[in-house]
């Protein structure tokens, strides 16, 4: 399968290998839920693209710079998008937790990109933030489809509703930003970088919302997603890839944090959710070396690199690493501690020698 094909893949939060594990080791109900989620993901995988936004029956006014334009819909447990409009920008909470969480966390993510990077929504020009909740029956995933974010309610046994986690909501919105700016092909190392951008920005949005420094942050993705029945802390850890969970049903977190453990696989679009642990950990090392708020110097370097015209759609880890080092040089100077921290981080994960 060519890399070009993977441009049309939907960006789902839940790695397919987790759902496959549940389908093999869960209870009868959980096996059914996992299989249904996998089937749904496969069926709707290619139904995405910016053109979807043109067909939505909602008043899609662009936002005033600095103010989001949020439109939250309910699919009412069906597999239809965008669904029924239930809360628009400026309207009061309606008492449905999924609706109100989606509204709140999309707002927090918008504020992060606006306040930190002066970016006005996903496309930088006030694109409406469209979300759909209550997608499908017990749907165990969330995704960006090229025009909007979609959130399942979870199965209630392993996973809570996907709107419960700020970093999951931010992760999906960040896929839209990456798609608009770099169009990173969703396969192999470029796909892992795509996933890593979403994890990095998802973590930064949470840190920004909670006003936590790099040292205070938990560096976890999806911590609010897991129920108390799961033996785990989150779905992924930027600080310690491979340690987020170790559960009889979910299995063991397979993410590597170093190139010596890089996973060669055809599954998961060439390991996009697995090998993203390597660039994730590199960002963590930069943030911890520099201290303070991670969205400042480290986040700025990563965002500058996302906008860099030299970032090609099929970029690999080594090329990306050199671009981050060069962008640190451009912003902070060749002999700055920022450049040293970036270089040391990529050496620390085995991408650069």
pLDDT, tens digit, for every residue of 43-100?
A: 755 444 444 444 444 456 777 899 999 999 999 999 999 999 999 999 999 999 999 9
**Cβ 11 vs Cβ 144: under 8 Å:** yes
- Shared-domain flag, residues 159 and 39: yes
> 144 and 91, same structural domain?
yes
Same domain, 223 and 163: no
Q: What is the pLDDT of residue 9?
A: 56
Residue 168 sits in the same domain as residue 44: yes
Q: Same domain for 107 and 75?
A: yes
Domain annotation covers residue 353: no
Domain contains 6: no
Q: Is residue 150 part of a domain?
A: yes
- 235, 245 Cβ separation under 8 angstroms: yes
- The rounded distance, in Å, linking the Cα atoms of 198 and 11 is 10
Q: Say whether both 74 and 144 belong to one domain.
A: yes
Residue 114's CATH number? 3.10.170.10
pLDDT tens-digit series, residues 56-68: 444 567 778 999 9
Sequence-distant (≥ 6) Cβ neighbours of residue 210 within 8 angstroms: none
Note the pTM of the prediction, 2 decimals: 0.94
Given a contact cutoff of 8 angstroms between Cβ atoms, the answer to whether 227 and 170 are in contact is no
* Domain count along the chain: 2
Residue 239's domain comprises 188-348
Domain boundary (181, 214, 243) is at 181
190-242 pLDDT, tens digit per residue, is 999 999 999 999 999 999 999 999 999 999 999 999 999 999 999 999 999 99
For position 92, what pLDDT does the model report? 98
Q: How do residues 156-192 score in pLDDT, each as one tens digit? A: 999 999 999 999 999 999 999 999 999 999 999 999 9
Active-site positions? Answer: 172, 273
Per-residue DSSP letters for 28-63?
Answer: HHHHHHHHHHHHHHHHHTT---GGGGGG--S--PPP
pLDDT (0 to 100) of residue 134 = 98
pLDDT band at 250 (very low <50, low <70, confident <90, very high): very high
CATH number at residue 320: 1.10.390.10
């Amino acid at each position: 399968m060519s890399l070009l094909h993977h441009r049309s893949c939907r960006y789902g939060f839940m790695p397919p290998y987790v759902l496959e594990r549940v389908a093999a080791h869960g209870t009868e109900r959980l096996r059914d839920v996992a299989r249904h989620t996998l089937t749904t993901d496969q069926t709707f995988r290619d139904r995405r693209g910016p053109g979807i936004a043109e067909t939505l029956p909602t008043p899609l006014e662009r936002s005033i710079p600095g103010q989001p334009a949020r439109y939250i819909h309910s699919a009412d447990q069906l597999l239809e998008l965008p669904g029924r409009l239930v809360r628009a920008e400026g309207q009061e909470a309606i008492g449905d937790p999924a609706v109100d969480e989606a509204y709140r966390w999309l707002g927090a993510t918008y504020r992060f990109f606006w306040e930190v990077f002066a970016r006005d929504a996903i496309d930088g020009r006030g694109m409406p933030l469209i979300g759909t909740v209550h997608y499908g029956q017990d749907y165990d995933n969330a995704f960006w489809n090229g025009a909007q974010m979609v959130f399942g309610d979870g199965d209630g046994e392993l996973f809570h509703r996907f709107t419960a986690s700020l970093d999951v909501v931010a992760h999906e919105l960040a896929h839209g930003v990456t798609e608009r700016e770099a169009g990173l092909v969703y396969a192999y190392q470029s796909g892992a970088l795509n996933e890593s951008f979403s994890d990095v920005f998802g973590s930064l949005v949470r840190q920004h919302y909670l006003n936590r420094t790099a040292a205070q942050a938990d560096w976890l993705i999806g911590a609010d997603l897991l129920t108390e029945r799961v033996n785990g802390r989150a779905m992924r850890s930027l600080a310690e890839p491979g340690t987020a969970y170790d559960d009889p049903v979910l299995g063991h977190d397979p993410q590597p944090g170093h190139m010596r453990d890089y996973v060669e696989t055809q599954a998961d679009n060439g390991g996009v959710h697995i090998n993203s642990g390597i660039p994730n950990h590199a960002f963590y090392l930069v943030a911890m070396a520099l201290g303070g708020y991670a969205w400042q110097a480290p986040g700025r370097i990563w965002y500058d690199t996302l906008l860099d015209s030299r970032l090609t759609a099929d970029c690999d880890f080594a090329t990306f690493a050199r671009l981050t080092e060069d962008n640190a040089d451009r912003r902070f100077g060749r002999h700055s501690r920022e450049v040293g921290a970036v270089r040391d981080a990529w050496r620390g994960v085995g991408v650069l020698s």
